[in-house]
Amino acid sequence: MTQVNRSHELQRMARALRAHVDGLRLGGVTGVPVAPERAIDPEANERDVAWKEQQLAALTQEVQRCRACSLYRTRTHAVVGDGTLAARLVFIGEAPGRDEDLQGKPFVGAAGQLLNRMIVAMGLRRDQVYICNVLKDRPPGNRTPLPEEMEACAPFLQRQLEIIQPAVVCTLGAVATKALLGAHLSIMKIRGEVRDFNGIPLVPTFHPAYLLRNPAAKKDAWKDLKRVKQLLDQGDIREPEGGPHGASVDH
């Protein structure tokens, strides 16, 4: 290797390392944490998981056959979800983008790379959580989902959550937050709060694509993720103190 090539290679490695450390830092990580045992439901036995797989396979077929809105005409793949069905944490984004449409997997593009780093910063691995979107098909040009598309797709997301039965849901961005909690809510106002979705604690945070455009918001996102982590690390959090709406819920 020539001196110039070696210097380029070192610069490339330094950039890659910096990007990785930036992701880990995300507003305050000082070490590499060990994945907590509580990431995956310890009671999820093989029979539960087999049942979940069966249900999700049926749902996947329905999504692939769905013609309830026009997005099926322009999609390459329907994107149902990714991760373990024994996950206690589900992340919900907006809709597949170009990379996701091509690969049939959520969050595999630039925003997905940041989401992966956010998950690692929480001390988890991507294969210990479940990731999906409000819409299962890509809106052309990545435009914002239309209300009728969200309405058509809502039963799929609802059933996905019923199948997985997560302990905590984290919505990524305004679209997912509004889809689950109500169109009148502002992500800027409610991010980081613990809300309730059908008895499941739900923490809204910024979408990774927004964080890529607004890196200064990463420190707030990190606070939100620490809240999610705290909920995951607690005991039985399905019914927080004060009933299913929880003490810190502010409707």
> Under the rule (CB under 6 A), what is the footprint of ligand URA?
93-97, 100, 106-107, 109, 111-112, 133, 209
- Shorter beta-carbon distance to ligand URA: residue 78 or 237: 78
The continuous run of DSSP H or E covering 163 comes out as: helix 147-164
Scan for tokens 């299913």, then name that residue.
244
Q: Which of 122, 237, 103, 118 is nearest to 168 (CA)?
A: 237
- Shorter beta-carbon distance to ligand URA: residue 85 or 174: 174
Q: Which of 47, 119, 46 is nearest to 82 (CA)?
A: 119
Contact 166, 88 (CB under 8 A): yes
The separation between CA 168 and the C-alpha centre of its own chain, rounded to angstroms, equals: 11
Half-sphere exposure of 58 (CA within 13 A, CB side): 7
DSSP 249: -
DSSP 120: H
Angle at 210 between CA 13 and CA 97, to 5 degrees: 85
